[in-house]
Structure 1
Amino acid sequence: MRSINFKEQVLPHVVAIVLFLLVTIIYFKPVFFDHKSLNQHDILQSIGASKEIADYRERTGDEALWTNSMFSGMPAYLISVKWGNEIIGTVQAVFSLGLPHPVRLVFLSFVAFYILLLAFGVRPYLAIAGALAFGLSSYNIVGLTAGHNSRIGAVAFMPLLLAGIRLGFKGKNLLGFSVTALAVALELRVNHLQITYYLLLMAAAYGISELVVAIKEKQLAPFIKRSSLLVGAGVLGLATFIGSFLSTMEYTKYSMRGKSEITMGTPEEKANGLTKEYAFRYSNGIFEPMTLFMPNILGGSSQQKLSMDSETAQFMLKNGVPRPQVEQQMQAMPTYWGEQPLTAPYYAGAIIVFLFALGIVALPARKSVWLIAMAALGIILSWGYHFSSFNYFMFDYFPGYNKFRSVTFAIIIPILAMNLLGFIGLEKILKQEWNAGTRKQLLIAIGSTGGIALLLWLFAGAFSYHGAIDERLPEWLQAPLSADRKALFKASAMAAFVLTGLSFAGIWLTLTKRIKPGLLYPAIAILMLVDLWTTDKKLLNDDNFAKNPTRSFFQKTDADQEILNDKDPDFRVFNLVDPWNEARTSYYHHSLGGYHGAKIRRYQDLIDKGLVPEQQKIIDKLRQGSVDFSEMGVINMLNTRYLVAGASKDAVIKNSFANGNAWFVSDIKSVNNPDEELDATVKVNTKITAVIDASKFDTKDLATDDYGTIKLTQYEPNHLVYTSENGSSALAVFSEIYYKDGWKATIDGKEAPILRADYVLRALQIPEGSHTIEFTFKPSVYQWANPVMTASSWLILLLLLGTILMELGFIKLKSETKESESDAQ
């Protein structure tokens, strides 16, 4: 074992981990001291969506892989599946020191970015400051508030992958390989492919940058060797995710991310993937990336707290509004005046922007251009339809890009790039001698950041402070609210000016040897910590925590109990109140609705053309006192036995016209394409007629006979058993969603072809007589991919342990290539 200098080689890292742990615990203190949890909307919906899957897993120890609790049935791949890479989850838990989910993600962000800065040669105590800045960027905090845990998890591991690549390019082959493989495995396991896509763009940019340098320095052979090792590490990491990846790619073809089969309508409606309107709905305005520098420059969040001293509060008090009412309204005021329908500021930190400017001027182009380019690209991508010439090109022609929505998420690219370049630049300038060149670099950096902040403060009156939301506000409110928006603008600009000025002064005093570097490190860290903490606490504070929010959200209502009294194993419930944006119903029942951004595309078509119109007709009928739903062919074919319009027992309406679990039809309507198929489905009596696309399924030999009976006798989400009795061969339709890959049907143990009827349902031709019919969902990818994922996960773990032992000197290998350049790029 090699000798270790504790003070230089161990103590800084111990200090880092302790600080990261303390900051995490103090920020999320309700979790640790009050036994509370984050009240996250999307996570609560996810719990509802995955309840049937979780119950099956607990009861059987197996994976269901399919659920009927949401959108009448869909694969579980993007809801909840445990694959053979659980050991990677254990590694994540160890690295996060057992901190609870999801607050551990902030801690992991600290650790991963700290490792990245060390890999780029930044001294540990500066790296601590940089890690705190990255982890506490409001991007992470806003994401946790919304319940976007997988997105923030993917963000947390972005720096780790870049660190592995950096180590590989430095010639630390084994360490670079191990860190890269682990980072890929961790990144993919959290399963947010949009963030991973952005990370791949950054990795590619860094690789291209290194390639250019290798060509210029005639070092192409070492570059190819190191790149090949890194690609191999990436493949090993991907192997831990291969089942999830392939199943997601398979499902994408049939989901809203895939190509529509509908040919009618506009080109947008026929898009391959998401429509532009849907994908770019949340696009940053051109001015909006300025929130990276000044969080309240556009008013802050869509709903933000104002003080009782604000113009709006004082105006309301002066006009006789009771003080308690004013206090309540000031808790959530529409101060945001940008162009998005709903938002919160993505704040990187004024000091980070200043350091980024410093890095641009302090570092040579070969070391900074890729980060500058990526910062610019991330901003352009976040502009969405506001920069349509570029972003529509990306959407139409860049592989995979049209599968993602909410392009504002791309702002994580400049946040990461600015933090990294900023601290590499600070490390570089602290090593320079104090001279005219260094002074010029500092002055350019402060002039381009603090100077802009001061100008914006001086010319704050040049802006209107009116936004799109103002059209929905009473006219009397607009003037005082605009005054408050202006005050927020000025305060944000002045704060940026002060923060950049203090940072500038600290660096200046350090370089001129008026203070020691040991004072600068904590000063910078404290300044950034206070700044980001103050902003973050407006977005996620103690009010966002509750004791057992899951229990209260899913408290069983009288309506739930009334439906649960029905012991039939399988029927559906239609919640008439916002059914397409809630999964609470799915917690207890098989729901027609749900909450998911990638539902089956054909089902979305059915929602648009069938279920939404029928929903309105049902509401109209209920207002008229009628419960005759016999003409509602779509809800009836989905076996909708109960309609729900509230939480009380009286809000449950039984639908006696539901078609049942399965039925024989007396007529087949053959159509020629999906357009005709959907159009016919929403018009026919689905109890009598089955609509089948003759261009996809042979209908010539299909027979009908509606005198038979068919009954569901056994239900599991992935296995259904029926018994049938019919006097002649006949077509049976099942109220289960058709999905081509994975479902197998047998009649008396003999496999039978599954047909698609009524646009989304399954159908079988049943021979005459008595039969047992089974549907089983066993996708092949799950069967063969799980062992691969398990083996590759263990291989990465063993490789990581071996690398650690080697780095500590317990294992000696041939010396790796020495780095020929300074660590501080």
Structure 2
Amino acid sequence: MKNINFSKQVLPHIVAILSFLVITILFFNPIFFGNKNLDQHDILQWKGGAQESIEFREKTGEEALWTNSMFGGMPAYLVNVEWNDGIISGIKKALSLFLPHPIKNIFLAFLSCYILLLVFRVRPYLAIAGAIAFGLSSFMIIGLGAGHNARIGAIAYMPLVLAGIHLTFTKNRILGFGLTATALALELRENHLQITYYLLLMVIIYGIVMFADAIKKGEAVGFIKNSALLIVAAIIALGTFFGKFWTTYEYSQYSMRGKSELTTTSNTNEGASGLKKDYAFQYSNGILEPITLMIPNFYGGASSNYLVQDEDSEVLKALQRTGDSKAANQLARYTSAYWGNQPLTAPYYAGAVICFLFIVGIIFADKKYTLWLVIAALLGIMLSWGDSFKAFNYFMFDYFPGYNKFRSVTFALIITLLAFPLLGFIGLEKLIEKGLTKETQKKLFIALGTSAGVCLLVALFAGMASFTKDGETQLPGWFLNALQEDRKGLMRGDALRSLLFILIAFALVFMHLKKKITFPVMAGILSLVTLIDHWAIDKRYFGEDNYKRVRDNSFFAMTEADKEIKKDKDPSYRVYNLTSYTEARTSYYHQSLGGYHGAKLRRYQDLYDHCLGPETSELIQNLQAGNIDLSGYGIINMLNARYLTFGPSKTSIIRNNEALGNAWFVSSVETAKNPDEELQKICTIDTRHTAVVDASKFSLPKNITYDSSSSIKLTQYEPNHLIYESNSSTDGLAVFSEIYYPIGWTATINGQPANILRANFVLRALEVPKGKHKIEFIFAPKSYSIGNTATMISSIILLLLALGSIGWSLKNHKKD
């Protein structure tokens, strides 16, 4: 057994882990020293929608699987469901050194990228710099501030998966097998399939390039064997995710990610099965916008940064000179520093140092790595262009499997943000290995000239840009001129800033090649420079406003309106917040017609677009005119919106006595030939007395008569278990104000199975025989029960294989 050299083989890794830990603690110091938590908008909305599921779990110890808190009702798979994945969760906690959620994802990103660089033979002290660049890229920090915890968590494991794959092909196939299975299981557990999709694209490109290299070297058979081993690793990892995958896939067919059944809305704007193009590509980079990877304020910076807030801005001075405070306040709304066309954004900064090193990597790294990572980096940029490069991205949307399920295509830049530091530090290691010769010096100056040259050109010719977004040409000329001057100043200032950091990085590398400074000094200062570069940019978009006191629950503090509504002890009714359809604060205390979720049921969204939305607009207009007759709002009433709210006070509530309740018998049934006709009819019928059933999908009720004295009421409510009592002298059709979902729900009448019909486009209905009956609805999808068992078994297998691969590697290391 070889003696371990502590200073070379152990100490660097201790330094790396301690560095990552200290950086994480210092960057998020209010959490550790100020008794604060992150104030994340999307997480607040998630808490609102998840509260019913959380309370049910605390009360029963079981999973609800369905929630009625948002959009009338929907599966809770993508809201709040726990799985038998405690082993995977434990591995994550151990790897993150039990740091608090969600900031542990930044530490994991450091660690993951560090391991990746080590696997690609980058020495530890250099790998620290690369890991800092990846973990502190503004993409990560901005996402964390917005509450995109699953996205950042999935990104954190991307390098670890690549490390396992590359290790399998190059050094230690058994350890690589175990690392790949574990890393992929961790990646999949975050359940952000869009990021995993981007990772898959990187792996596919890697596989193609490396297979071509293997053929060239006559090693194709070995490549195929290693690939087979990785397929087994992937299967095991997928097993740990099987339950989530099955339920998500099952639900996706009926969610916004699935295809609308309406032929009137199906056109070239929509994929064969997925989102509409205008929705999917709403957030698309302009062609030049990826330059923000090197010059963050190239497009002005964050859209939320208003120049009028800067005391030294030209636009503020111009507004002050007007002397008209009313006009100035109106124009202040148009002072966003960002002048691109995205509705809401902030720049994704890779780092000036990293961009310089990326060029170094292109020049000096092994050609196979250069080919892989340059293609990957360009792919990330091209995908981020979205609508700005229709020919490519519409092709991807229409023909690439699964791609039309995703939106916010600028997220694809994470491919680029990983490729840049990886290739950069691989190339830097290769340059150092070759040493300083006339040839390497010439190539190094080419890298400097390319990267620094871009910054210099931007600084010198910044005035050639328009600095004007769509719609701003109508603004007063004096105001627009001041706005353009400020934006030009931001671009020029950051171009010079990036130039400075590139020159510093070049000087460090050059001085080491000239043997003026040692490797550890060069690597250490480079890490510090990288940290300073990213820290300063990140703090533009992430500061004290991103924190709140630990016990600050003011967002969900019960209002007077909430208190008044909660006096109603009926087990189930809905509240409609007329001030906003897309919010989930209402869902924290009540069952809501609205909500906040990117994967609501497609039929419910279609109902909102064609019926509920227009009906709501009409209702608001009538209420503003003093007309509070609610009898004519069939959609709102059939959704059992007993309370309408438009503010936090007790007086901002309207009790809707026209709401139809939890269930009712109808006197007539109208048939529809298809979903289009079904939706058209439901927008106009009297939902109190008439139901609409799609005859192409459901057998029509027979022998239905109406008893005006019949009754049906909800007697017991749980999200996944509803019990009704009915009483009627005739056979009838009961419509239930519960959202129809075809998988997992079963109904019984007096314990005997009953066929659930879909009525009124989104609701459930049952044929109920005469007499007194007990009616039950139970939600128990097999995809969860079977999938949860598979998750547990696969997690155990994964743990055993991971431990076995580590043990095998250690044993063979001792033999060496």
Q: Provide closer, same or farther for how the CA distance between residues 775 and 317 of structure 1 changes in structure 2, counting only shifts above 3 A.
A: same
Question: What is the letter of the counterpart of residue 249 of structure 2?
Answer: M
- Map Cα deviations across residues 159-178 of structure 1 (whole Å, 9 max, x no partner): 00000001101141221011
The answer on 1:315 being equivalent to 2:318 is yes
In the alignment, which residue of structure 2 is the partner of 1:450?
452
- List aligned pairs for 1:274-423, cutoff 5 A: 274-304=275-305, 306=307, 307-319=310-322, 333-423=335-425
Question: What is the letter of the counterpart of residue 784 of structure 2?
Answer: Y
Distance 1:745 1:232 in 2: 41
In the alignment, which residue of structure 2 is the partner of 1:727?
729
Distance 1:58 1:354 in 2: 53
Distance 1:451 1:269 in 2: 41
Question: What is the letter of the counterpart of residue 742 of structure 2?
Answer: K
Select between 615-624 and 59-68 the one with higher mean Cα deviation: 615-624
Q: Provide closer, same or farther for how the CA distance between residues 178 and 447 of structure 1 changes in structure 2, counting only shifts above 3 A.
A: same
SS of the residue corresponding to residue 302 of structure 2 reads coil
2:269 and 2:277 in contact (8 A); partners too = no
SS of the residue corresponding to residue 64 of structure 1 reads coil
2:174 and 2:809 in contact (8 A); partners too = no
1:47 positional shift: 0.2
1:2 positional shift: 6.3
In the alignment, which residue of structure 2 is the partner of 1:819?
none
Distance 2:86 2:198 in 1: 25
1:329 positional shift: 11
Q: How many residues align?
A: 810
1:786 positional shift: 1.3
Distance 1:683 1:500 in 2: 65
SS of the residue corresponding to residue 431 of structure 1 reads helix
In the alignment, which residue of structure 1 is the partner of 2:684?
683
Distance 2:333 2:106 in 1: 26
Distance 2:600 2:476 in 1: 38
Distance 2:616 2:134 in 1: 46
Select between 435-444 and 64-73 the one with higher mean Cα deviation: 435-444
Question: What is the letter of the counterpart of residue 680 of structure 1?
Answer: K
Question: What is the letter of the counterpart of residue 22 of structure 1?
Answer: V
Distance 1:329 1:99 in 2: 45
In the alignment, which residue of structure 2 is the partner of 1:495?
497
In the alignment, which residue of structure 2 is the partner of 1:704?
705
In the alignment, which residue of structure 1 is the partner of 2:185?
185
In the alignment, which residue of structure 1 is the partner of 2:127?
127
2:42 and 2:147 in contact (8 A); partners too = yes
Distance 2:813 2:456 in 1: 57
1:476 positional shift: 4.5
- Map Cα deviations across residues 513-541 of structure 1 (whole Å, 9 max, x no partner): 12222221012111111111110001001
1:310 positional shift: 2.5
2:295 and 2:349 in contact (8 A); partners too = yes
2:30 and 2:547 in contact (8 A); partners too = yes
1:280 and 1:385 in contact (8 A); partners too = yes
The answer on 1:535 being equivalent to 2:537 is yes
Q: Provide closer, same or farther for how the CA distance between residues 329 and 136 of structure 1 changes in structure 2, counting only shifts above 3 A.
A: farther
In the alignment, which residue of structure 2 is the partner of 1:440?
442
Q: Provide closer, same or farther for how the CA distance between residues 2 and 775 of structure 1 changes in structure 2, counting only shifts above 3 A.
A: farther
Distance 2:375 2:127 in 1: 23
SS of the residue corresponding to residue 379 of structure 1 reads helix
SS of the residue corresponding to residue 713 of structure 1 reads strand
- List aligned pairs for 1:69-148, cutoff 5 A: 69-148=69-148
Question: What is the letter of the counterpart of residue 667 of structure 2?
Answer: S
Q: Provide closer, same or farther for how the CA distance between residues 702 and 293 of structure 1 changes in structure 2, counting only shifts above 3 A.
A: farther
Q: Provide closer, same or farther for how the CA distance between residues 4 and 696 of structure 1 changes in structure 2, counting only shifts above 3 A.
A: same
1:471 positional shift: 5.6
SS of the residue corresponding to residue 771 of structure 1 reads strand
- Map Cα deviations across residues 178-221 of structure 1 (whole Å, 9 max, x no partner): 11011111111111100000000001111111111111111111
1:116 positional shift: 0.4
Distance 2:814 2:775 in 1: 62
The answer on 1:222 being equivalent to 2:231 is no
SS of the residue corresponding to residue 628 of structure 1 reads coil
In the alignment, which residue of structure 1 is the partner of 2:626?
625
Question: What is the letter of the counterpart of residue 197 of structure 1?
Answer: Y
Distance 1:474 1:202 in 2: 47
Question: What is the letter of the counterpart of residue 727 of structure 2?
Answer: E
Question: What is the letter of the counterpart of residue 418 of structure 2?
Answer: L
Q: Provide closer, same or farther for how the CA distance between residues 639 and 613 of structure 1 changes in structure 2, counting only shifts above 3 A.
A: same
1:72 positional shift: 0.1
Q: Provide closer, same or farther for how the CA distance between residues 227 and 784 of structure 1 changes in structure 2, counting only shifts above 3 A.
A: same
Matching residue within 732, 737, 740 for 1:738 = 740
Percent identity between the two aligned chains: 53
SS of the residue corresponding to residue 22 of structure 1 reads helix
Question: What is the letter of the counterpart of residue 187 of structure 1?
Answer: E
Question: What is the letter of the counterpart of residue 763 of structure 1?
Answer: A
The answer on 1:569 being equivalent to 2:566 is no
The answer on 1:57 being equivalent to 2:57 is yes
In the alignment, which residue of structure 2 is the partner of 1:175?
175
Question: What is the letter of the counterpart of residue 314 of structure 1?
Answer: K
2:178 and 2:806 in contact (8 A); partners too = no
2:318 and 2:478 in contact (8 A); partners too = no
Distance 1:329 1:229 in 2: 62
1:808 positional shift: 4.1
After the TM superposition, which segments of 4 or more aligned residues of structure 1 sit over 6 Å from their partners? 328-332, 811-815
In the alignment, which residue of structure 2 is the partner of 1:822?
none
- List aligned pairs for 1:257-272, cutoff 5 A: 257-265=257-265, 267-268=267-268, 271=271, 272=273
1:355 and 1:425 in contact (8 A); partners too = yes
Question: What is the letter of the counterpart of residue 758 of structure 2?
Answer: R
In the alignment, which residue of structure 2 is the partner of 1:249?
249
2:305 and 2:337 in contact (8 A); partners too = yes
Distance 2:62 2:475 in 1: 53
Distance 2:87 2:278 in 1: 40
1:70 and 1:590 in contact (8 A); partners too = yes
SS of the residue corresponding to residue 669 of structure 2 reads strand
In the alignment, which residue of structure 1 is the partner of 2:559?
557
2:705 and 2:731 in contact (8 A); partners too = yes
Distance 1:790 1:132 in 2: 34
| TM-score normalized with structure 1 length | 0.95
1:303 positional shift: 2.0
Identify unmatched segments of 5+ residues in structure 1.
816-825
1:304 and 1:331 in contact (8 A); partners too = no
The answer on 1:671 being equivalent to 2:675 is no
Distance 1:270 1:507 in 2: 50
SS of the residue corresponding to residue 467 of structure 2 reads coil
Matching residue within 753, 777, 780 for 1:778 = 780
Distance 1:537 1:806 in 2: 45
Question: What is the letter of the counterpart of residue 299 of structure 2?
Answer: L
In the alignment, which residue of structure 1 is the partner of 2:762?
760
- Map Cα deviations across residues 376-399 of structure 1 (whole Å, 9 max, x no partner): 011000000111001000000000
In the alignment, which residue of structure 2 is the partner of 1:213?
213
- Map Cα deviations across residues 401-443 of structure 1 (whole Å, 9 max, x no partner): 0000010100111110111000101111111132122012201
- Map Cα deviations across residues 259-313 of structure 1 (whole Å, 9 max, x no partner): 1100114505664210001000100000000000100011001122654222233
2:644 and 2:655 in contact (8 A); partners too = yes
Distance 1:331 1:762 in 2: 46
The answer on 1:800 being equivalent to 2:802 is yes
1:85 positional shift: 1.1
| TM-score normalized with structure 2 length | 0.97
SS of the residue corresponding to residue 727 of structure 2 reads strand
1:746 positional shift: 0.4
In the alignment, which residue of structure 1 is the partner of 2:20?
20
Distance 1:476 1:329 in 2: 12
Distance 1:329 1:92 in 2: 49
1:704 positional shift: 3.2
Distance 1:549 1:599 in 2: 31
2:622 and 2:628 in contact (8 A); partners too = yes
Question: What is the letter of the counterpart of residue 530 of structure 1?
Answer: I
1:700 positional shift: 5.6
Distance 1:740 1:500 in 2: 58
1:475 positional shift: 5.3
Distance 1:463 1:234 in 2: 48
In the alignment, which residue of structure 1 is the partner of 2:599?
598
In the alignment, which residue of structure 2 is the partner of 1:5?
5
Identify unmatched segments of 5+ residues in structure 2.
none
Question: What is the letter of the counterpart of residue 158 of structure 2?
Answer: M
